[in-house]
């Protein structure tokens, strides 16, 4: 196991601080890359990558939007991801696969990357608790961003395209500048979309409600995990549009994502949601999710790639 974080880069394993991207790479100038964020959890069987195959399949699906031909198979990228983890020290919990348009003809930089090389890399990082340990337990403080999500007519919001996330970055900056833990973003219709990097759920009358894909949200893998778990727990799920005002009157409000995992939200725009703490259904889903991710529930063992066995 390496003393320094390792990166799998175009088929070779290199130390992360020696992994360089040329200045004239198309993705650096235009955001023409696709990426994934994947969690790594400690289990009794060693470290496990959460829903690796699903993440890499989504990476390939995202690449289709940019007409990008990734020069490896899904299984090759999966194995590269496993190998990066095997060769990296244990204080990592986050994995970042990325495919991007690199260099074209020498001295040229144009909008259409059709003739540019496609590069692929897999890196690791220490994410920790994304919004904070206290927020994960007691609830986060959310504010509605003044920035709205792009519409489904302006880009593919189901693809994790690097350039799409500038919108998320400015919303995140704004929320932190105002003392909030995270932003809530509305779409062009004025209904709720998602956070900068999270899907969102509310609970009303014991029912779990979340916006549909048409609201301009990513098909989140953590969201899908929660939908599966909710079904197994006999919690009714409804996918429909949600208004900002409806959240104020919700019994519970939480966000999901690879980074955020399952984070309860106690306040929105200064208004307390429910009892101002993680609600019973949020707690139940959060507990079940972490048991699944940490290999403590055999029912969901198919979601885990054990890399140290």
| Model pLDDT for residues 32-75, shown as the tens digit of each residue | 999 999 999 999 999 999 999 999 999 999 999 999 999 999 99
pTM for this model (two decimals): 0.95
Asked if residue 305 belongs to a domain, the reply is no
Helix axes 221-232, 280-293, angle to 10 degrees: 110
Same domain, 143 and 83: no
Provide the number of structural domains found in the chain: 2
Same domain, 213 and 260: yes
pLDDT digits (tens, 9 = 90+) for 146-169: 999 999 999 999 999 999 999 999
Cα separations in angstroms, 78 against 13, 48, 71, 177: 14, 13, 14, 38
Same domain, 172 and 49: no
CATH of the domain at 286: 3.20.10.10
pLDDT: which is higher, 131 or 28: 28
Average pLDDT over residues 252-280: 96
Query: What residues make up the domain containing 95?
Result: 6-125
What's the whole-number average pLDDT of the chain?
95
Task: Calculate the CA 44 to chain-centre distance.
Answer: 25
Query: Three-class SS of residue 249?
Result: coil
Same domain, 113 and 138: no
Q: How confident is the model at residue 109 (pLDDT cuts 50, 70, 90)?
A: confident
Quick one: CA dihedral 21, 25, 26, 31, positive or negative?
positive
pLDDT digits (tens, 9 = 90+) for 175-185: 999 999 999 99
Say if CB 32 and CB 113 are below 8 A apart. Answer: yes
Same domain, 142 and 116: no
* Cross-strand partners of 254: 201, 264
Q: Which residues contact 15 (CB under 8 A, 6 or more apart)?
A: 2, 4, 5, 6, 7
Same domain, 73 and 95: yes
Q: What percent of the chain lies above the pLDDT cut of 70? A: 99
> What is the token pair recorded at 199?
């899907």
Our answer to whether residue 160 is catalytic in this structure is yes
Q: 44, 45, 133, 160: which one is catalytic? A: 160
Query: Three-class SS of residue 56?
Result: helix
């Amino acid at each position: 196991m390496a003393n320094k974080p390792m990166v799998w880069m175009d088929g070779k394993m290199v130390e992360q601080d020696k992994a360089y991207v040329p200045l004239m790479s198309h993705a650096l100038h235009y955001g023409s890359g696709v990426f994934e964020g994947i969690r790594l959890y400690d289990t009794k069987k060693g470290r496990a990558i959460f829903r690796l195959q699903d993440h890499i399949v989504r990476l390939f699906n995202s690449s289709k939007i940019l007409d990008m031909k990734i020069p490896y198979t899904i299984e090759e990228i999966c194995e590269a991801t496993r190998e990066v983890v095997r060769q990296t020290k244990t204080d990592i919990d986050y994995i970042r696969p990325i495919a991007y348009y690199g260099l074209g003809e020498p001295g040229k930089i144009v909008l259409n990357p059709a003739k540019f090389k496609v590069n692929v890399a897999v890196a690791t990082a220490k994410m920790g608790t994304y919004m904070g340990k206290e927020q994960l337990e007691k609830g986060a403080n959310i504010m509605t961003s003044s920035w709205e999500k792009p519409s489904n007519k302006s880009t593919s919001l189901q693809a994790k395209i690097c350039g799409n996330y500038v919108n998320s970055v400015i919303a995140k900056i704004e929320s932190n500048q105002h003392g909030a833990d995270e932003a809530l973003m509305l779409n062009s219709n004025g209904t709720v979309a998602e956070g900068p990097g999270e899907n969102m759920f509310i609970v009303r009358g014991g029912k779990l409600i979340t916006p549909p894909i048409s609201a301009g949200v990513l098909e989140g893998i953590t969201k899908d995990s929660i939908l599966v778990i909710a079904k197994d727990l006999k919690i009714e799920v409804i996918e429909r549009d949600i208004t900002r005002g409806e959240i104020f009157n919700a019994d519970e409000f939480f966000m999901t994502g690879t980074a955020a995992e399952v984070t309860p939200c106690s306040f929105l725009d200064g208004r307390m949601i429910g009892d101002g703490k993680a609600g019973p259904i949020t707690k139940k889903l959060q507990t079940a999710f972490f048991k699944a991710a940490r290999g403590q529930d055999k029912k969901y063992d198919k979601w885990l790639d054990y890399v140290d066995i």
